[in-house]
Amino acid sequence: MGDLRERSERVWGWLADVPDPEIPVISIVDLGIVREVNWHDEPAGAVCEVVITPTYSGCPATEVIGRSIEEALRERGVERVRLESRIAPAWTTDWLTSEGRRKLSEYGIAPPARRADGRQVIDISGLRRRTVDDAPAACPHCGSTHTEPISRHGSTPCKALHRCLDCREPFDYFKCH
Amino acid sequence: MLLDDKSVYLMRLGDNALVLSQRLSEWCGKGPAFEEDMALTNTALDLIGQARMWLSYAGEVEGRGRDEDALAFRRDSHEFTNLLLVEQPNGDYAHTLVRQFFFDVWHQLVLDALMRSSDDRIADIAAKAIKEVAYHLRRSSDLVVRLGDGSAESRRRMQDAVDELWMYTGEMFNADETEELLGAQGLACDPSTLKDAWLAMVSEVFAEATLTLPEGEWMQKGGKQGRHGEHLGLLLAEMQFLQRAYPGATW
């Protein structure tokens, strides 16, 4: 079993080099979509099972990610790879690693300004109130939190468009989800 | 037969998401503002993802070898079980928005109930989808207020859209035998239990938007039973063309 754990850790390390196809500055591990790596000793040989969770239901990157994982492991000599997609618990930006948040910010994308805290029960009466809206995003260029949203949707499902009222630069914001 | 009821119910959830997604996609590249174009297409993307989850499950439960694509592309209009509301044409932006708002409020309530379904997979899909739908609802209710309580022109258009789409809202709360049966078993949600909450939310937003809630009580129905207007056929003709002309085509 010790060997298996070691092998799993090596796989985690390889997956940490697999970039997210839409935001290549962070890896799929940074994004929190790799949930588990399990080795199974089967009669036909060891199988490496990678459990991933999709971000947004319709995000087209999900299929590309599956292929990237298979390629990355095959390149390193893992012949038998099994991908499992798991939707529960639902992906949340709380699973972004601190490393991932730092890389996003350096790249010019403001990371989520608050925790989603896995809130599954949603208070409908409060939904449309701005008070439940995200805390202000910090401008990735100058650090000011004196910012405002321009558009709730951006170039990918996970982002919105904001602008800084101090340095006047627009920037992408990784939505709290 | 419980399995049949379950696949019928799952298909309804999938059809609502699929048809509304297709309608929203018609705006792609034509939105009135760049931000709106992105919002409509992102919402369409969320809904197509949700449709895939529901229809895949429906196909598995049905057990006749139909996958999500077979269900989406190789059924005719009378086999679609979406609400009449979601197949209504885009019209002007007010129609698109009011249709979205009416649906978002209902969708949110349904998913909230389904998160407690006795069927784990239904509960899991609902828990994932509701996070996206919460975002849809926040945007649509916000815009209803901004355009309702906007210029005289935007207000008039919004009220016209509300008055015209109102008759498609009643169907959302008519439980049929399938929903009563599955609701009693804790597997699905009996939609008649959602009406008060829906009305309360819509009334609250309309009050702020200075829009008037219509008083008409006559409601259209039949979408869930496969009785649709001409609009759905035209929508499907476009959506299904490729798979009908070149069955099994992939790229």
Question: For position A63, what pLDDT does the model report?
Answer: 87
Model confidence at A120: pLDDT above 60: no
Beta pairing partners, A45: A42
SS3 A81: strand
Instruction: Read off the pLDDT of each residue in A19-38 and give the average, rounded to a whole number.
Output: 95
Which 8-state DSSP code applies to residue A132? G
Residues of chain B with pLDDT under 50: none
Does B201 reach chain A within 8 Å, measured CB to CB?
A: yes
For A85, which residue in chain B has the nearest alpha carbon?
Answer: B53
Of B34, B131, B137, the CB nearest to A90: B131
- Of A2-6, A78-82, B15-19, B54-58, the poorest mean pLDDT is in A2-6
Question: For position B45, what pLDDT does the model report?
Answer: 96
Interface test with A, best of B27, B54, B131, B203 (most A CBs within 10 A): B131
Whether the complex's predicted ipTM is more than 0.90 is answered with: no
Question: For position A124, what pLDDT does the model report?
Answer: 54
B213/chain A closest Cα distance in angstroms: 18
- Residue B165 CA from chain centroid, whole number: 13
Q: How far apart are CA B54 and CA B69, in angstroms?
A: 12
Pairing of strands A159-164, A147-151: antiparallel
Q: In B47-198, which ranges are E strands?
A: none
Specify whether the CB–CB gap between A58 and B50 falls below 8 A.
yes
- pTM equals 0.93
Model confidence at A129: pLDDT above 70: no
Q: How far apart are CA B180 and CA B199, in angstroms?
A: 21
A165/chain B closest Cα distance in angstroms: 19
pLDDT tens-digit series, residues A55-74: 999 988 888 999 999 999 99
**Highest mean pLDDT (candidates A32-46, A51-65, A136-150, B100-114):** B100-114
Least Cα distance to B31 among B43, B19, B46, B49 occurs for B43
- Of A7-16, A120-129, B177-186, the poorest mean pLDDT is in A120-129
pLDDT tens-digit series, residues B138-174: 999 999 999 999 999 999 999 999 999 999 999 999 9
Question: For position A60, what pLDDT does the model report?
Answer: 85
Range B206-211 contact pairs with CB under 8 angstroms and sequence separation of 24 or more: B206/B144, B206/B148, B206/B162, B208/B145, B208/B148, B208/B149, B209/B144, B209/B145, B209/B147, B209/B148, B209/B149, B209/B158, B210/B148, B210/B149, B210/B155, B211/B144, B211/B148, B211/B155, B211/B158, B211/B159, B211/B162
Q: Report which residue type is found at B59.
A: G
Question: For position A79, what pLDDT does the model report?
Answer: 92
Per CB-CB distance under 8 Å, the chain B contacts of A154 are: 38
Question: For position B229, what pLDDT does the model report?
Answer: 94
pLDDT tier for residue A155 given thresholds of 50, 70 and 90: confident
